[in-house]
Chains A and B, each alone.
Chain A
Amino acid sequence: MNMNEPDFENQLRALRPLAPSASLEENIARELTSPRAIATVESRGEAPGFFERIFPGLRWAFAGAAGAAAVLLAMGRLQPPSVLPATQSASADFETVEVTRDLVAAEDGGLVYEDEDEPARLVRYTTIERHVWTHPGSGARLEVEIPREDVVIVPIAMQ
């Protein structure tokens, strides 16, 4: 017998998913009537904190900036602030020749709730920023790659 698609689907639908235990509904009822429920649930989630929402990717940006500063210090091009402001040293000696930003990953972070309890989808974008400078005098080339993680919250339209 060569079963067509609707028949196959109906055969699958004939199977009933296993029912949960009776304690599940009791536990849910208890949590939904408990004033501490939301705190318990929120603590298990991975919603971004206030600082991360306002400055997405700042953690990675700091790491990248620190790395860049370390490279510049190692090359002797950047003096400590007490001696010479960093902006003067870096901008005077090197010229920017390339700035790129490549997307390397996009991860669905699931459902979050924004203001007014409207649901929204949280998406994490991981990108690599690449900065290239050259020194016109010596021809030295400086490359810095900065990993960034941007958290974007996209409202979900209700029907």
Chain B
Amino acid sequence: MRGVAEARQNRAGWAFVAPALALIGLFFFMPVLAGLFLSFTDFDIYAIGRPDTARFMGLENYRQVLSNPLFWQALGNTFLFVILGGPLSVLTSLVAALLVSAKRVRYPGLFRSIFFMPVVTTLVAVAIVWRYLYHPQYGLLNWALGAVGIHPVDWLGDPHWAMFAIILMAVWKNFGYNMLIFIAGLQSIPEDLYEAAHLDGAGGWAQFRHVTLPSLAPTFLFVGVMTMLGNFQLFAEPYVMTQGGPLKATTTVVLLMYEEGFRWWRMGMAAALAFVLFVIMFLGTLIQMRLQGERR
């Protein structure tokens, strides 16, 4: 009897996961593998009409990617976003989480919802709004800065400031998400730890350093890695706000991939770019996990 029941569960289990696996296999895994294969060819617009003009290139696309100064500039821009934007976003999320979770706060739910609101908004829509906020003459930001005596900045037109402008917007858009995760993390810290520290004579700041932060370490790791992975894929903001300019200051690797692949139809090259990005993201994850894991 048990054998029959087990066999039935086995069949049902496979039947239930089959549609999902089929879809994921067909529309995710297969394209990823095909992408890897594409990256070894020079499949381009000529090849779409006449496949016989596609050549097997081995690692040539990868060599070209790595020797293309534009790639390195895009990688640099992406790194700037990851290294500056990531910690800034995480920090803002932590501060917001701490503020909202403080015991004395009234209407914490309201503040939580307000801080979270930018996360659900459509990126393209708010990118357009922020483009106007950043306008050198008519934008709110320069007007507000002018009120405290700072000269107007051409946020999106100056190659020195454009990426910072995008970082600021990205932090605003996303800090609410990690805030929630930090809130969950904070709520899961047992009260007795704080009581014990208080009994040991620890004040507010010491409690924070010795109870809160260590308890949040796994949350930090999770938030850090997820934010980093997301930041590496920066695309929509530069596409809508600056088209990768000015002077390629906001061109990211994904934007470059989009241009190579869907604007110039150099698909072999675009596929190689995507895989290079994947490798970099993977290495970044490993590095971050190693660094943060060791902090304990």
Do the two shown chains form a genuine complex with each other?
A: no
